[in-house]
């Protein structure tokens, strides 16, 4: 690795340590620096090893438009209701539908981004600091070659050490849980979530080997 490359990674890493939580603007920069093309290729090749991942890359499955209010009419134990309830309560909006460029890296990025909040629900990860750490660790386990989520984890541990040691125990518990869960679970990448809105969340977790 060149000195310049390393310096760019450090710059974007420290910018995220300094940024307040919830300011995501620096993540894209760190991702670009640390997940270079050869890393992205390793991630794609790894995810394609499962038939579900292979199909997702082939068909470039996306969620499409989501009507949160419509999902909120479903029975209360369904994925659709629980997901939309969390989104509405926290005033979150689904990621706008993006056009995929004709390559696997673009699909990888967009699919991960638009399913992020669903992964929160399925893995029982809150949207507070320890919940984000739990989910980041789950990504580390599930994406295998991805350097971004591991560096985000590193960022959050440093932020805790400097700013908020009182959160240490809950952060470390979350990390441990996310790792154990992510290694044991079936792959979440490539699931066509919009065919599962009406299914009970409990059944989905069971079928994915996720014990919360």
- Asked if 111 interacts with its own copies (CB under 8 A), we say no
Rounded Cα distance, 171 and 153, in Å: 10
What is the token pair recorded at 82? 């629980």
Three-state secondary structure call for residue 166: helix
Position of tokens 């065919």? 195
Rounded Cα distance, 46 and 56, in Å: 13
Q: Which of 17, 19, 27, 44 touches its own copies by CB under 8 A?
A: 17
What is the token pair recorded at 184? 């044991």
The dihedrals phi and psi of 51, each to the nearest 5 degrees, come to -55, -35
Residue with Cβ nearer its own copies (176 or 192): 176
- Asked if 97 interacts with its own copies (CB under 8 A), we say no
Name residues contacting its own copies, limited to 135-164 (CB under 8 A): 137, 140-141, 144-145, 147-148, 150-151, 153-155, 157-158, 160-163
Quote the least distance from Cβ 62 to its own copies, whole Å.
28
Rounded Cα distance, 16 and 25, in Å: 9
- Asked if 21 interacts with its own copies (CB under 8 A), we say no
x/- site string to its own copies, residues 163 to 182, per CB under 8 A? x-x--x---xx-xx--xx--
- Asked if 120 interacts with its own copies (CB under 8 A), we say no
Position of tokens 């991630």? 43
81-111: string of b/e by CB count within 10 Å (b at 16+)? Answer: bbbbbbbeeeeeebeeeeebeeebeebbbbb
Residue with Cβ nearer its own copies (20 or 75): 20
- Asked if 13 interacts with its own copies (CB under 8 A), we say yes
Q: Which stretches of the chain bind its own copies, using CB under 8 A? A: 1, 6, 9-10, 13-14, 17-18, 34, 39, 137, 140-141, 144-145, 147-148, 150-151, 153-155, 157-158, 160-163, 165, 168, 172-173, 175-176, 179-180
């Amino acid at each position: 690795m060149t000195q310049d490359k390393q310096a760019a990674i450090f710059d974007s890493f420290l910018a995220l340590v300094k940024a307040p939580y919830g300011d995501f603007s620096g993540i894209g920069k760190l991702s670009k620096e640390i997940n270079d093309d050869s890393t992205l290729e390793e991630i794609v090749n790894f995810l394609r090893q499962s038939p579900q991942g292979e199909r997702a890359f082939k068909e470039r499955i996306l969620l499409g438009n989501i009507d949160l209010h419509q999902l909120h009419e479903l029975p209360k134990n369904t994925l659709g209701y629980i997901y939309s309830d969390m989104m509405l309560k926290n005033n979150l909006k689904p990621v706008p539908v993006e056009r995929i460029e004709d390559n696997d890296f673009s699909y990888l990025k967009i699919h991960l981004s638009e399913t992020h909040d669903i992964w929160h629900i399925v893995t029982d990860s809150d949207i507070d600091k320890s919940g984000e750490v739990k989910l980041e660790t789950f990504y580390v386990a599930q994406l295998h070659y991805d350097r971004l989520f591991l560096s985000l984890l590193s960022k959050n541990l440093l932020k805790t050490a400097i700013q908020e040691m009182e959160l240490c125990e809950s952060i470390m518990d979350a990390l441990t849980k996310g790792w154990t869960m992510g290694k044991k679970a079936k792959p979440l990448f490539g699931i066509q979530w919009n065919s599962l809105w009406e299914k009970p969340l409990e059944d989905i977790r069971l079928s994915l080997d996720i014990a919360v």
